[in-house]
Amino acid sequence: MQVSTSAGGSVKAEAGKKHPVFPVGQMLPFVLVTVLFFLWGMSNNLTDILVQQFRKSFELSQFGAQLVQTANFFGYFCMAIPAALLMRKWGYKAGMVTGLLLFGTGMVLFWPAAVNGQYAMFLIALFTVGSGASILETAANPFIAQFGDPVTSEQRLNFSQSFNPPGTITGVLIGTYFIFSGVEPNAAQIEAMKVAGTYHAYLHGEIMRVVPTYLTFGAVVLLCAFILSRTKFPVIQSEHEGAGEDHGSFGELLKIPAIWIAVAANFCNVGAQISSWSSLIPYMKQYTAVSERTAALYLLGTLIALAAGRFVSTPLMRFVRPSLMLGVYGVMNALLMLVAVLRPGLIGAWAVVASGFFLSIMFPTIFALGLKGLGRNTKIAGSLLVMAIVGGAIFPPVLGLIAKHTGSLALGYVVPLAGFVGVALYGFYQSTQRTLLSGPAY
């Protein structure tokens, strides 16, 4: 009886204990790593602008233009495991610096690609950028999740991820006003330019517009690599960093179904997000009379909605189980994609914009849930979750193929709809689990 009372008191004390979200006394590395979320947010949504810019500049089909996303996100697939192996030996800091160097190099490669006017060279540059971003995400997401009290890992990661939307917003604004020229000749004007022999020069000028943006961005990224290399990072004790101990194995993860279910959910999540966003400008060009720059402002709206969703939803996770919230948000986005399919035009476009709010928590919540309780296997498991970002390489061209063969971009939106159904199923499944609870069991 006495033991039972003591245990009950211990449980009550634990329940009443305040769990800090941020790492106490270690804010400098936390802030520097959070800045990385802003940087790769800029990069990922600049590719949404490039889809339309290259479609026009290289006269591509919707499928061909979506190879921009395939090249970028295939880099995530290829580099995630090498990144995990690198960090298992050298730690998170080495991974982040390496990722930034590769990330910045890929951006600098846009210059020779534009000068040569070769679409394939741009795809190589984008693959390099994606490879660097893959290493960054493989390092930064699990680092932030573990860098503090484990009880608040979802809140901490959602906070850092909250700086990703401002980065995406900045990227779209830069692309809208520095990459899009605002010159959109109609068929008659194009024919006249061809007769006058000026059409090729116009197309090459459109290609060259990407150079100043990417060179500047590349310089900033390389500067960040230098700053991070000079910053002292803490040891993550939960992974025995620096202790010379075993750091886990893929064999152990094969026996943990939860991580593979999380990988599948993240594949669906990223694929749905990238395909719905990267097709929004072409969607509006097909079904409305708006200009490229006006359509880009709708894309900007999705990012503002995402930022709002993250800042509103993260505090709610103190009261609502994150996994249950994930399931509900997945259902909401599946319904919004259905509106985009059935009501092409401004109504459908606004549905895609609204989906940004519910997308807000998906990636960080799936990531944090997938890593819970993995200890020494966290780095390797994190690499698998980053590999799942390859969904962003696969979903967009599938959407493009549907649009190419049916002539309807609206019908192509069944692809992200299916992805969000997968996310919803994962969220509701996780909310029924009682072993690795995240948030209050309401």
Among 118, 64, 150, 93, which Cα is nearest to 396's? 64
SS3 308: helix
What is the domain-level CATH number for residue 304? 1.20.1250.20
Token duo for residue 256: 């943990």
Number of folded domains that form the chain: 1
Contact 438, 321 (CB under 8 A): yes
pLDDT in tens, the chain (442 residues): 343 444 444 444 445 567 676 766 678 888 899 999 999 888 888 888 999 999 989 999 889 999 999 999 999 889 888 888 888 788 889 999 999 999 999 999 999 999 999 999 999 999 999 999 989 988 888 888 777 777 777 678 878 877 887 888 899 899 999 999 888 898 899 999 999 999 999 999 999 999 999 999 999 999 999 999 998 887 765 554 454 445 556 677 777 888 999 999 999 999 999 999 999 999 999 999 999 899 999 999 998 998 889 889 988 888 888 999 999 999 999 999 999 999 999 999 999 999 999 998 998 899 889 888 777 777 788 788 888 989 999 999 999 999 989 999 999 999 999 999 999 999 999 988 754 433 333 2
Token duo for residue 21: 């979200």
Q: Is there a domain that residue 239 lies in?
A: no
In single-letter form, the type of residue at position 391 comes to G
Angle between helices 414-431 and 322-342 (to 10 degrees): 160
Q: Is there a domain that residue 20 lies in?
A: no
| Cα 352 to Cα 319: distance, rounded to the nearest angstrom | 28
b (16+ CB within 10 A) / e for 260-290: ebbbbbbbbbbbbbbbbbbbbbbbbbbbbeb
Contact 126, 47 (CB under 8 A): yes
Q: Which domain holds residue 211?
A: 27-233+247-431
Dihedral sign from CA coordinates of 258, 260, 261, 267: positive
Name the burial class of residue 392, with classes exposed (0-12), middle (13-18) and buried (19+) by CB atoms within 10 angstroms of its CB.
buried
Distances, alpha carbon 341 to alpha carbons 141, 268, 301, 312, in Å = 33, 18, 19, 28
Among 40, 226, 265, 31, which Cα is nearest to 144's? 31
Percent helix, strand and coil across the chain, each rounded to 5? 80, 0, 20
In single-letter form, the type of residue at position 150 comes to P
Other Cβ atoms closer than 10 A to 343: 15
Name the burial class of residue 193, with classes exposed (0-12), middle (13-18) and buried (19+) by CB atoms within 10 angstroms of its CB.
middle
pLDDT digits (tens, 9 = 90+) for 276-302: 999 999 999 999 999 989 999 999 999
Contact 101, 136 (CB under 8 A): no
Distances, alpha carbon 376 to alpha carbons 77, 84, 246, 258, 442, in Å = 22, 12, 8, 16, 30
Q: Is there a domain that residue 193 lies in?
A: yes
b (16+ CB within 10 A) / e for 37-61: bbbbbbbbbbbbbbbbbbbbbbebe
Among 119, 132, 9, 8, which Cα is nearest to 55's? 119
Distances, alpha carbon 371 to alpha carbons 65, 92, 150, 204, 256, in Å = 34, 16, 11, 46, 11
Contact 442, 343 (CB under 8 A): no
Q: Is there a domain that residue 266 lies in?
A: yes
Contacts of 180 (CB under 8 A, 6+ apart): 49, 52, 53, 209, 292, 293, 296
pLDDT digits (tens, 9 = 90+) for 209-253: 999 999 999 999 999 999 999 988 877 655 544 544 455 566 777
Q: Is there a domain that residue 263 lies in?
A: yes
The pLDDT, as a whole number, for residue 224 is 93
Q: Is there a domain that residue 115 lies in?
A: yes
Contacts of 283 (CB under 8 A, 6+ apart): 340, 344, 348, 349, 352, 409, 410, 413
| Cα 226 to Cα 442: distance, rounded to the nearest angstrom | 46
Whole-structure pTM value? 0.77
Contacts of 361 (CB under 8 A, 6+ apart): 158, 309, 310, 313, 314, 317, 322, 325, 326, 329
Q: Is there a domain that residue 324 lies in?
A: yes
Q: Is there a domain that residue 133 lies in?
A: yes
Contacts of 32 (CB under 8 A, 6+ apart): 227, 228, 231
